[in-house]
Structure 1
Amino acid sequence: MWKWETEQQPKAVIVILHSVYEQHRWYAWLIEKFRSAGFHVVMGDLPGHGEQEKFARYHDEDFEGYYKYTKLLFKVALEYNLPLFVVGHGLGATIATYVLQKKKLDCAGIILTSPWLTLKLTPGKLSNALSSFSVITSNVKLKHELTLQHFTRNTDVLMELKEYLPLTNTVTVKWYRDWQQVTRIIRDSEFKLPNVPLLVMTGENDKITDVQATKKWAYEQTAHSEFQFKQWKGCMHSLYFELEREEVFRYSVDFINNALRDLGYIIE
């Protein structure tokens, strides 16, 4: 993992968790935006991603490895002794949600964008059937028919992301079954995140996740003292890559600054 420190007096530290098939380099723009706005940033690559993904043909990582990695990210960020905000996207949002609920970490706020709770575009035509079969099917490979065009309409970003192709978008049945298991836990009516400020954002034209299912789940978290749900008109799955990403970023920073004010910090 890596740390990017602001040159200003730091207001807080941001932990960013990327989605499956991605890597931290995809988030260079967002990292620099947060750093320039007065925040330290801690981020790395999920196990099996980034450099580890270069020669991989598919994803079969253990989700326990994802959770362990996430806890380590949080531990490193908390060493700054600053308010901690978690920004999770896609699968990263799902993993962050699970770990935050289980570990009860001391964080100042949570931002989840397009969390993978219910998928419209699933890996493999037979994924739902195969995922219920015996251990014999665990290593069966499922092609997830995602392309960069599912992420954003922003052609400039698409050109940047092509530097990091090929997109390894095949998973095993075991991986898919593990994802199903964690989302069942998160979508359970008894599941509640820590009572800290929560912002959930989706794109109106997300072709990957079920936006309505996400919205329903988000409003079940309204026991939070501060909760916001924002659906961005015309946007696709990856809000921080979209044409409107400057607006999305400003909205995120306003949320963070308001949370810091509530904690007694003076934010100019």
Structure 2
Amino acid sequence: MWKWETEQQPKAVVVILHSAYEQHRWYAWLIEKFRSARFHVVMGDLPGHGEQGKYARYHDENFEEYYNYTKVLLKVALEYNLPLFIVGNGLGASIATYVLQKNKIECAGVVLTSPWLHFKLAPGKLSNALSSFSAITSNVKLKHELSIQYFTRNTDVLMELKEQLPLNSMVTVKWYRDWQHMTRTIRDPENKFPDIPLLLMTGENDKITDISTSKRWLMEQTLSEFHYKQWNGCLHSLFFEVEREDVFRYTIDFINNVLRDLGYIVE
């Protein structure tokens, strides 16, 4: 993992969790935006991603690895003794949700973008059938037919990421089962999200996830403060989109309002 510290007096610390098949370098723009806005940033690569997954042919990580990695990130961020905010995208948003449901963590606020709670585009045409079979199928490989064009319409971002492609989006049935188990746990009415200020944002034209599932999940929570924003015309990855400056400003407004409610003076 890495730390990027603001050169100014920090207002808070932000932990960023990227989505499946991505890596932290994809978020250089977002990291620098937070640093310029007076936030420290803590981020790394999910297990099996980035340099660790550079030569891997498929993803077969145990989701417990994802959860443990996330808890380590949060522990490191809390060492700053500043208000902690979590920003999770896609799979990272779902992992953040699961970890917060299962653990008591001192978190000031959470921003979830396009969480993977239900797929429009699932890995492999037979994935739903295979995932219900016996352990014999666990090592069967499934192709998640994603292209970077499903993430953003922003040609500048597409050029930035050109050398970091193609996506390694081959997964095993076991990986897909773990994802299913995580999302079922998240959506279980018995597992409530902690009463933390929450901003959930989706793209109107998301081709990867079913945004109605995310909105329905949010409305089922018992939160003192929550915000839902659907960005017109946007695809899956809002911080990569043409409107990313607006998305970032919306995010910063949410975070600053939470800090004001906590008694901090926000300039």
Using structure 1 for the length normalisation, give the TM-score.
Answer: 0.99
Identity of aligned residues (%): 78
- Work out whether 1:198 is the aligned partner of 2:202: no
1:72-117 deviations in whole A, cap 9, x for unaligned? 0000000000000000000000000000111110100000000000
CA distance in 2, matches of 1:94, 1:182: 8
C-alpha distance in 2 between matches for 1:162 and 1:103? 38
Aligned-partner Cα distance in 2 for 1:216–1:193: 13
Instruction: Determine the C-alpha separation between the residues in 1 that align with 2:129 and 2:104.
Output: 34
Q: Aligned pair 1:165/2:141, yes or no?
A: no
Aligned to 1:228: 227
Q: Does residue 103 in structure 1 map to residue 93 in structure 2?
A: no
In 1, the alpha carbon distance for the partners of 2:100 and 2:77 equals: 14
User: What corresponds to 1:183 in structure 2?
Assistant: 183
SS of alignment partner, residue 230 of structure 1: strand
Residue in 1 that maps onto 2:119: 119
**CA offsets 1:52-74 (integer angstroms, 9 cap, x no match):** 12101110000000001000000
Query: What whole-Å deviation, never above 9, does each CA across 1:157-204 have from its counterpart, x for those lacking one?
Result: 011111111210110000000000010010111221111100000000
Establish whether residue 238 from structure 1 lines up as the match of residue 237 from structure 2: yes
SS at match of 1:192: coil
1:147 corresponding residue in structure 2:
147
The RMSD of aligned alpha carbons is 0.6
Q: Which residue of structure 1 aligns with residue 208 of structure 2?
A: 208
> Could you tell me how far apart the structure 2 residues matched to 1:93 and 1:14 are?
14
In the alignment, residue 98 of structure 2 is paired with which amino acid?
Y
Deviates more, 1:184-193 or 1:123-132: 184-193
Name the amino acid aligned to 2:24.
Answer: H
**Runs of at least 4 residues off by over 3 Å:** none
* Structure 2 gap segments, 5+ residues each: none
Partner of 1:86, secondary structure, is strand
Q: How many residues align?
A: 267
Q: 1:114-159: CA deviations, max 9, x gaps?
A: 0000000000000000000101000000000000000000011011
Query: Distance between the aligned counterparts of 1:241 and 1:5, measured in 2?
Result: 22
CA distance in 2, matches of 1:218, 1:232: 16
Secondary structure of the 2:161 match is helix
Residue 32 of structure 1 aligns with an amino acid whose one-letter code is E
- TM-score computed with the length of structure 2 as normaliser: 0.99
CA distance in structure 2 between the aligned counterparts of 1:196 and 1:15, rounded to whole angstroms: 15
Paired AA for residue 245 in structure 2: E
**CA shift for structure 1 position 220:** 1.2
For 1:28, give the aligned amino acid: A
